[in-house]
C-alpha cells in the first residue's frame, strides 16, 4: 500500500502548480509510505507518491512510474494480485517489462486495452493515470472500496489524495463544513461516500472511475454486484466455495516482504489463517489484541485458534489511555469517523507492523455471508410489526425500564435499538440498527440551523437495501446494503486508516471480487437460516469444520469492540467535556452544548447508554478544531 496525491488544472486556465504545495501534499501521506517518495510534474499537472515497498522493493518500483514509449504516468496505491498472469498475457502481445512489480503492469495494460483494462484487475487499488497524448487523467477505485480516493474540484482545480489531509495540505483550498455529511456522521458515526465532512471534498464510490479530459469530468461505474439466486446442490456449492476461497487467499499471499495474519476469536480470521497455513511451509505469524475487561477480551479464543492451526502467535493487551490511543486516533481522522473499535485495531496494527509488512484479515465475511446480528434483528422486526400496537407499547415501557450498563452487547442496548428500529418499515428498520444519534436525539440536542429537513441518512441506507440488483430475498438485500454502504464507509475505513498509520498493508481475501460474485449467487438458505443463533455464515462454518475438524466452526461472533460505554463514563469524560465546550464549537458546531452535557450526565449516572453517541460528539468537536479550523 502507498499514499497517492495530485493536482490538475483540468480547465486548462494556465494555472501554475506550486511544487512546494505538491511536496506538502505528498509528505502529508508519509505514514502510508515510509519507504520512499516521488513526484511528477508536467505543465498543469502534478502527481505525488509515498511508497510502502511490498512488490519489487528495489528502486525500479519507485513511483510515480512512467511508460516512456506511450507517454503514460501512474501513481498507484494498492495491489493487483493477478499481475503476473496479466504480465504474461501482455508479453505475448509484445510488451516488455523492466521491473517485477504490479505498477508497471497497470501502465502496460492501459497501453494495450485503454480504460477497459480495469475490468481485468483482481486487487485492491486506487490510482491516477495520466495519458499525455490524449491529455486524459484517469482516476479509479477498486470494486469493493478497500482503498480510498478523495477529490475536490474547488476553484476549477482537481485535487485528489488517499486521505483528506492531502487535499487540505494545499493552503489554497478553502475549508467549509458539509452539513449533510455531518448529519450522516451523527447518525452512523461515519460519513458514507461520496460525501465527506467538507463541503467541496468528495469520495469516489467503490467501482467508480473518473475520466477528466477536454475540461470535462465524467464519473461512471465499471462494475456492479448482482445479488441473484442460483440453484446449487449443497455439496457443489461447498466445493466451489472452497476452491474460490483458496484461490483468493493464495493470490493474496504474493509478497516480497514479511507477511502474517490477524486472529480474533471468530471463524472469519480462523478460516483465512488456516488457508494461509496450508499454502506455506513455515508457521504463519498471527496477531491478536484484547483488554483487561474479560467481557471484551478475545485473546484466549484467538490463542486457542492459533494452537489448533499451529501459528507463531503474538497477543497484545490494549489499554485505552487518553494520552496516546485516543489522541492518536483523533489525529488520524481528517474526516470525522467514530468507530470506537478503531482504538483496538490501531494497537493490533502497531503490534503487527513491528514484525510484518503485510497482514491478511477476515474483514468482509460478515457482509458477504450474513454474519451480523442485524440480519436476525431485521427478520424478527418484520414479525414484531404484526403485534398489536398496545402490545408493542407495553414492550417499549418494559425496555425503557431496563438499567444502563457497561457490559458488552448488554440487553438494554439490544432491546432499545430493536424496539425503536422495528417500528420502521422494511429497509429502514435495517438501516436503524447502526444509529448513534437517533432523529429524536438530533432534534433535541442539535441547533435548529444545523438540522437538515431534506437529510435522511437512514433512508439512504435503506435505498441500498431496496436497490439490490437481482435480489430475490430479504437476506440478499441486506447483504447488498452492507457491501455497498456500511462496509466501504465504516469497516474498510477503519482498517485502512489504522493500518496505514503504521505503514502496514492489510489484505482482505473475503473481498476478492471473484469470491464475492460467486457468494452473491448462492441460495440464501446456504448462507444463513435467520433468525436462529449460529445459523449464519453456514457455508464458511462447514468449510472450517471440514478443514480443521474442530469446534472452531461453531464460535459465536463477538466482534472487535472496545468498552466505550465505560470509557465515556470514566477516562474519556474529561476529554469529552473539554472538546465540546471549546468556544468555537459552542458557537459554530451543531449541538446545543448545554443539552449535550446534560445527555452526558445522564449517561454518567447510568440512566441511559449513550457511549457511542458521546464518542461521536467528542470526535466531531475535535475535528472541528483540528481539521476544520487549524491554528
> For position 24, what pLDDT does the model report?
98
Q: Which fold has domain 2-221?
A: 3.60.20
Average pLDDT over the chain, rounded to whole? 92
Given a cut of 90, whether residue 201 has pLDDT beyond it is: yes
Residue 555: pLDDT band with limits 50, 70, 90: low
Least confident of 54-63, 98-107, 258-267: 54-63
How is residue 325 annotated by DSSP?
I
Q: So what's the pLDDT on residue 560?
A: 62
Residue 297 CA to residue 421 CA, distance in Å, equals 29
- Going from N- to C-terminal start, the domains of the chain cover 2-221, 234-369+484-554, 570-631
Compute φ and ψ for 166, nearest 5 degrees: -65, -40
Cβ atoms of residues 151 and 321 within 8 Å: no
pLDDT of 408 strictly over 60? no
Q: Which residues contact 249 (CB under 8 A, 6 or more apart)?
A: 272, 275, 276, 279, 360, 509
Report residue 110 as a C-alpha cell: 492501459
Whole-number pLDDT of residue 413: 73
Secondary structure (3-state) at 261: strand
Taking the alpha carbons at both ends of the chain, their separation in whole angstroms is 31
Torsion of CA 365, 370, 375, 379, to 10 degrees: 180
- The pLDDT tens digits for 272-301 are 999 999 998 889 999 998 777 666 677 888
pLDDT digits (tens, 9 = 90+) for 131-153: 999 999 999 999 999 999 999 99
Identify the pLDDT of residue 123. Answer: 97
Per-residue pLDDT band for 169 (boundaries 50, 70, 90) equals very high
Cis ω before 194 (30° cut-off from 0): yes
pLDDT at 196 over 80: yes
pLDDT of residue 406: 59
Task: Dump the DSSP string for 480-513.
Answer: HHIIIIIIIIIIHHHHHHHHHTTT-EEE-GGG-H
Mean pLDDT of 316-342: 87
Rounded Cα–Cα distance for residues 573 and 196 (Å):
27
Residue 156: helix, strand or coil by DSSP?
A: helix
Predicted pLDDT at 252: 95
Angle made by CA atoms 428, 433, 437, in degrees to the nearest 5 = 95
The predicted model gives 195-222 an average pLDDT of 97
At residue 412, does pLDDT exceed 80? no
Selected residue with higher pLDDT from 58 and 439: 439
| pLDDT for 31 beyond 90 | yes
In this prediction, residue 38 has a pLDDT band, given cuts at 50, 70 and 90, of: very high
Cell numbers for 447 = 441547533
For residues 546-557, average pLDDT = 68
CATH-assigned architecture of domain 234-369+484-554:
3-Layer(aba) Sandwich (3.40)
Q: What are phi and psi of 168, to 5 degrees?
A: -70, -20
User: Between 56 and 504, where is the model more confident?
Assistant: 504
- Structure confidence by residue, pLDDT tens digits, 238-268: 999 999 999 999 999 988 888 999 998 789 9
Provide the pLDDT for residue 295.
65
Can you give the pLDDT at residue 557? 57
Question: What pLDDT is attached to residue 452?
Answer: 81
Q: Give Cα separations from 73 to 10, 29, 69, 272 (angstroms).
A: 16, 20, 11, 35
Per-residue confidence (pLDDT) for residue 535, from 0 to 100:
86
Average confidence (pLDDT) over 573-591: 95
pLDDT tens digits, one per residue of 436-446: 999 999 999 99
Q: Which long-range contacts (CB under 8 A, 24 or more apart) does 409-415 make?
A: 410/609, 412/609, 413/609
Q: State the pLDDT at residue 532.
A: 82
3-state secondary structure string across 344-387: HHHHHHHHHHCCCCEEECCCCHHHHHCCCHHHHHHHHHHHHCCC
Tell me the average pLDDT across 25-51.
95
pLDDT at 320: 65
Q: What is the pTM of this model?
A: 0.95
Amino acid at each position: 500500500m502507498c499514499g497517492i496525491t495530485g493536482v490538475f488544472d483540468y480547465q486548462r486556465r494556465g494555472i501554475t502548480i506550486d511544487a512546494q504545495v505538491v511536496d506538502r501534499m505528498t509528505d502529508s501521506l508519509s505514514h502510508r509510505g515510509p519507504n520512499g517518495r516521488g513526484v511528477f510534474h508536467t505543465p498543469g499537472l502534478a502527481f505525488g507518491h509515498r511508497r510502502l515497498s511490498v512488490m519489487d522493493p528495489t528502486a525500479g518500483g519507485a513511483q510515480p512510474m512512467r511508460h516512456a514509449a506511450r507517454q503514460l504516468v501512474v501513481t498507484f496505491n494498492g495491489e493487483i494480485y493477478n499481475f503476473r498472469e496479466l504480465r504474461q498475457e501482455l508479453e505475448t502481445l509484445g510488451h516488455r517489462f523492466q521491473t517485477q512489480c504490479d505498477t508497471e503492469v497497470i501502465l502496460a495494460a492501459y497501453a494495450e486495452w485503454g480504460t477497459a483494462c480495469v475490468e481485468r484487475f483482481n486487487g485492491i487499488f486506487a490510482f491516477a493515470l495520466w495519458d499525455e497524448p490524449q491529455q486524459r487523467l484517469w482516476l479509479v477505485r477498486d470494486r469493493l472500496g478497500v482503498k480510498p480516493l478523495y477529490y475536490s474540484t474547488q476553484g476549477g482545480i482537481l485535487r485528489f489524495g488517499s486521505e483528506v489531509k492531502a487535499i487540505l495540505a494545499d493552503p489554497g483550498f478553502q475549508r467549509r463544513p458539509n452539513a449533510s455529511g455531518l448529519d450522516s456522521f451523527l447518525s452512523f458515526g461515519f460519513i458514507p461516500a461520496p460525501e465527506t465532512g467538507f463541503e467541496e471534498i468528495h469520495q469516489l464510490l467503490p467501482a467508480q472511475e473518473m475520466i477528466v479530459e477536454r475540461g470535462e469530468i465524467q464519473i461512471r461505474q465499471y462494475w456492479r454486484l448482482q445479488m441473484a439466486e442460483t440453484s446449487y446442490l449443497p455439496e457443489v456449492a461447498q466445493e466451489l466455495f472452497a476452491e474460490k476461497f483458496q484461490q483468493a487467499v493464495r493470490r493474496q499471499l504474493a509478497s516480497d516482504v514479511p507477511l502474517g495474519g490477524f486472529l480474533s476469536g471468530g471463524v472469519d480470521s480462523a478460516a483465512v489463517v488456516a488457508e494461509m497455513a496450508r499454502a506455506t511451509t513455515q508457521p504463519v505469524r498471527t496477531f491478536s489484541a484484547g483488554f483487561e475487561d474479560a467481557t471484551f477480551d478475545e485473546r484466549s479464543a484467538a490463542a486457542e485458534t492459533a494452537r489448533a492451526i499451529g501459528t507463531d502467535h503474538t497477543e497484545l493487551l490494549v489499554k485505552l489511555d487518553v494520552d496516546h490511543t485516543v489522541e492518536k486516533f483523533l489525529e488520524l481522522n481528517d474526516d470525522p469517523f467514530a468507530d470506537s473499535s478503531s482504538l483496538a485495531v490501531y494497537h493490533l496494527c502497531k503490534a503487527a507492523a513491528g514484525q510484518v509488512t503485510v497482514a491478511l484479515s477476515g474483514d468482509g465475511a460478515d457482509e458477504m455471508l450474513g454474519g451480523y446480528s442485524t440480519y436476525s434483528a431485521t427478520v424478527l422486526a418484520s414479525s414484531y410489526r404484526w403485534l398489536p400496537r398496545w402490545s408493542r407499547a407495553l414492550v417499549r415501557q418494559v425496555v425503557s425500564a431496563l438499567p444502563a450498563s457497561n457490559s458488552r452487547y448488554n440487553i438494554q442496548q439490544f432491546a432499545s435499538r430493536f424496539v425503536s428500529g422495528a417500528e420502521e418499515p422494511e429497509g429502514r428498520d435495517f438501516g436503524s440498527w447502526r444509529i448513534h444519534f437517533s432523529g429524536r436525539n438530533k432534534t433535541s440536542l442539535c441547533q435548529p440551523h444545523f438540522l437538515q429537513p431534506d437529510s435522511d441518512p437512514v433512508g439512504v441506507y435503506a435505498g441500498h437495501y431496496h436497490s439490490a440488483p437481482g435480489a430475490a430475498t430479504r437476506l440478499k438485500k441486506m447483504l447488498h446494503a452492507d457491501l455497498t454502504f456500511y462496509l466501504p464507509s465504516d469497516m474498510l475505513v477503519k482498517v485502512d486508516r489504522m493500518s496505514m498509520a503504521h505503514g502496514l498493508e492489510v489484505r482482505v481475501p473475503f473481498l476478492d471480487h471473484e469470491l464475492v460474485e460467486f457468494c452473491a449467487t448462492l441460495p440464501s438458505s446456504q448462507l444463513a437460516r435467520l433468525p436462529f443463533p449460529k445459523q449464519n455464515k453456514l457455508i464458511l462454518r462447514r468449510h472450517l469444520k471440514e478443514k480443521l475438524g474442530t469446534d472452531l466452526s461453531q464460535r459465536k461472533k463477538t466482534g472487535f469492540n472496545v468498552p466505550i460505554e465505560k470509557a465515556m463514563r470514566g477516562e474519556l469524560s474529561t476529554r469529552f467535556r473539554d472538546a465540546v465546550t471549546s468556544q468555537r464549537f459552542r458557537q459554530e458546531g451543531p449541538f446545543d452544548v448545554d443539552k449535550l452535557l446534560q445527555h452526558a450526565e445522564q449517561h454518567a449516572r447510568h440512566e441511559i447508554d449513550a457511549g457511542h453517541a458521546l464518542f461521536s460528539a467528542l470526535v466531531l468537536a475535535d475535528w472541528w478544531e483540528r481539521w476544520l479550523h487549524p491554528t
